[in-house]
Amino acid sequence: MNIYEAIKKDHDIQRDLCDKISKTSGNSSERKELWTKLRKELEVHEVAEERYFYSPLIETDSMQEDARHGMAEHHEIDELIQELEATDMVSPHWLATMKKLNDKVHHHLKDEENEFFGKAKKVYSQNKSKELMEGYEKTKRDYKKDWPNSIPGSDLES
Ligand SMILES: [Fe+2]
Ligand SMILES: [Fe+2]
């Protein structure tokens, strides 16, 4: 497995969870459970991806702008997560915000898979992309274990 395959695998999990949440209602236990899973997936993925996909790209002229763009979108995703955490699940605002998150996540994953991966393949050698995958997977494992305390800001709301 290389870094692209590892990321794509997690994107598929995120897309699936987004899809499932949009079919839940109110403050059902199913919605709560799926939301916690999605939040964890998104937050842990962002940390590992920034470290093992974006950070090394920021150093390159060909991808500096894309890397900044991608990480700015992570920030927008974080803001929507915080907004959802601060909103009552039964309110229409929760669902409307979830819809925004869903659209944002889909858009972001498409940018990464359809644009950034192709460009990054010109920067990272095959060996490097395998090495990055190992760092990515290890970081994810470590953060998942300690989540939510490992992610700054993720323990702000009850
Ligand atoms: Fe991302
Ligand atoms: Fe991603």
What is the spatial distance between Cα 41 and Cα 9, in angstroms, rounded to a whole number? 11
The pLDDT of residue 152? 59
Q: CA 28 to CA 22: how far, in whole Å?
A: 12
Examine the pLDDT at 149 and tell me if it is beyond 90.
Answer: no
Confidence of residue 158 (pLDDT cuts 50, 70, 90): very low
- The alpha carbon of residue 42 and the mean position of all alpha carbons in its chain are separated, in whole angstroms, by 3
Domains, the chain, in order of start with CATH, read 3-146 (1.20.120.520)
Mean model confidence pLDDT for the chain: 93
Q: Would you state the pLDDT for residue 155? A: 54
Average pLDDT over residues 43-70: 95
Task: Tell me the CA–centroid distance for residue 145 and ligand 1, in Å.
Answer: 20
What pTM did the predictor assign? 0.92
48 CA to middle of ligand 2, Å?
Answer: 9
pLDDT confidence of residue 53: 97
Q: Could you tell me the two tokens for 158?
A: 């009850």
Give distance in angstroms: CA of 14 to centre of ligand 1: 11
Strands (E), the chain: none
Q: At what angle do helices 126-146 and 29-49 cross, to 10 degrees?
A: 140
